[in-house]
Structure 1
Amino acid sequence: MIYAAAGDPSPERCGGESVDLDWERGSNLNLCDEPDDVDAAFDRGEERVGVALIALVYNNPDTDAVLPKVARGLRSPNPETRRQSLLALMHTARLHGRVDAVTLELVRGLLDDRIPISVGSRYEVWGTAAQTVEDLRVFLPSEQLPAWVNEFTA
């Protein structure tokens, strides 16, 4: 198992027992490894679901289970969650060597997302989407990518 944060994993996780994720403070969201935990967080409208989604990519090698959660994050009404989901997709490509057609099309749509990632921020979602496309070109063979990704220029 790969952990998203440096250092030893939580002793309770090493024992194979599930851990209660701290959604209020976010102190242990780096331990998230269950797709169902991320779905439940989306359903509850958890503010830090994007953090758990990134951890899920690191901690769960099953891309068939993880990519639908990434897609859900890319569709989030919260711009920070969309940004974090873009990061999760980039890490999926880097660590696992694959993405899917659904997430690629969602990224394509986010290239026009001019909403700031947070109130008062000068950074907009499209900037992270553009960087994600560039990262996909680095981490995945061009044959795995649609033509628009291979031809993309920021």
Structure 2
Amino acid sequence: MASGWDWAGGEGLLGLDDPAEWDAAFARGEDRLGTAVIGLALNCPLAEASPRIVRAMRMPDPIQRGFAFTAAGDTARINGALTPELYEALRAEGPHGFATHAIRDTLTFVPFRDLPPWFKRRWVYVTVRNKLEYWWHRIQDAIGDAWRALRRHRG
């Protein structure tokens, strides 16, 4: 069966909405599976896209792996939820590297009550860190304003 998708050039793969087509391309060893899995995340139900996203996260090509993590973030944005397998894949990758943005998207778009414990701890850590950075920058701004006013006054 000939595929109607441009796997060689990648054109139109963000519109992929057929998990069986992705599975067949994976079996053939196509190059742009990460791009296509973003299409699945955008166009398919979470339960159908999730196992393919997880599989794409394990691909050896770092560019395509990066796209798979982008797909996980898109899934969190669109659905406001992830599957247990996606949560586990993000946890395994950790908050640095490929998973950074997908974890941030998950913390932003999935309700706190629906997060697994690891993500709840991460949410608390990020929230506290962001608040402390905000206060630190406000203090720096106040000190800078005071210093400039003092210099003008002495001027």
Report the equivalent of 1:29.
13
Compute the TM-score of the two structures, normalised by the length of structure 2. Answer: 0.72
> Which of these residues, 44, 62, 74, is aligned with residue 28 of structure 2?
44
- Distance in 1 between the 2:16 and 2:27 partners? 16
* CA offsets 1:43-98 (integer angstroms, 9 cap, x no match): 122111111110111122x1111111111112222222221111101111111222
- For residues 80 and 105 of structure 2, what CA distance do their matches in structure 1 show? 12
Q: Between Structure 1 and Structure 2, which shows a larger proportion of helix residues?
A: 2
Q: 1:89 is matched with which residue?
A: 72
1:105 to 71, 88, 93: 88
User: Could you list the runs of 4 or more consecutive aligned residues of structure 1 that deviate by over 6 angstroms after TM superposition?
Assistant: none
Q: How does 1:10-25 map to 2 (within 5 A)?
A: 20-25=4-9
Structure 1 Cα separation of the partners of residues 100 and 120 of structure 2: 12
Q: How many residues align?
A: 123
Measure, in 2, the Cα distance between the counterparts of 1:151 and 1:25.
41
Q: If you compute each CA radius of gyration, which structure gives the higher value, 1 or 2? A: 2
* CA RMSD, Structure 1 to Structure 2 (Å): 2.0
Give the equivalent residue in structure 2 for 1:4: none
CA displacement at 1:151 relative to structure 2: 1.8
Structure 2 unpaired stretches of 5+ = 127-155
Q: Distance in 1 between matches of 2:66 and 2:120?
A: 21
CA apart distance, 1:131 = 2.0
Give the Å deviation of 1:129.
0.6
State the one-letter code of the partner of 1:128: F
Q: Helix, strand or coil for the counterpart of 1:151?
A: helix
Q: Give the structure-1-normalised TM-score.
A: 0.72
Asked if structure 2 preserves the Cα contact closer than 8 Å seen for 1:35 and 1:65, the reply is yes
For structure 1, the 5+ residue unaligned runs are 1-18, 113-125
Of all paired residues, the percent bearing the same amino acid is 33
Cα contact 1:67–1:103 (8 A) shared by 2: yes
